[in-house]
């Protein structure tokens, strides 16, 4: 997906590398083995997580997670790339996991930056398993 197209979250006032660090740190804290890679052309960070410590709050569809972060003017954006499908019976647990991740990232960025940076959902926030027409309402 192109930049500005398919973003899940955006950060303002904090760089891509630091934002990727917060995401990787959170995933590690809930039981994921995290791999983080950087690219220069185009500038970006890929964060992959493989669940290594089972948790009842993590649905099976989320055993592997993958995100792509890229710089924006004044911040960074996150595209949620994997999983792309979540079975209907796992959606409530997945929605909860997404909300918990968003809350953690919002708090971490807000606290570390002394409220000068913030995490926001773009108007067209997108999760791959949510149909675009339902995008904002179904994901939160």
Which CATH number is 35's domain given?
Answer: 3.30.310
Q: In terms of residue numbers, what domain contains 124?
A: 7-139
Each residue's pLDDT tens digit in the chain (140 positions)?
Answer: 344 458 999 999 998 999 999 999 999 999 999 999 998 888 899 999 999 998 888 999 999 999 999 999 889 999 999 999 999 999 999 999 999 999 999 999 988 766 778 898 888 888 999 876 654 444 44
Pairing of strands 32-40, 118-120: unpaired
Residue 18 domain-assigned (yes or no): yes
Whole-model pTM: value is 0.86
Residue 129 domain-assigned (yes or no): yes
Residue 1 domain-assigned (yes or no): no
For 115, residues 6+ apart whose C-beta sits below 8 A from its C-beta are none
Residue 27 domain-assigned (yes or no): yes
Total domains in the fold of the chain: 1
Residue 97 domain-assigned (yes or no): yes
Residue 94 domain-assigned (yes or no): yes
């Amino acid at each position: 997906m192109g930049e500005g197209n398919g973003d899940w979250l955006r950060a303002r006032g904090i760089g891509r590398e630091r934002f990727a660090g917060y995401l990787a740190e959170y995933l590690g804290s809930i039981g994921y083995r995290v791999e983080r890679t950087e690219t220069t052309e185009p500038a970006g960070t890929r964060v992959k997580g493989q669940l290594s410590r089972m948790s009842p709050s993590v649905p099976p569809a989320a055993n592997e997670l993958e995100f792509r972060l890229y710089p924006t003017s004044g911040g960074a954006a996150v595209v949620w790339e994997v999983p792309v499908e979540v079975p209907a019976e796992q959606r409530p647990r997945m929605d909860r996991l997404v909300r918990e991740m968003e809350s953690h990232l919002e708090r971490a960025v807000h606290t570390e930056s002394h409220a000068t940076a913030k995490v926001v959902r773009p108007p067209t926030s997108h999760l791959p398993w949510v149909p675009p027409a339902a995008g904002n309402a179904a994901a939160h």
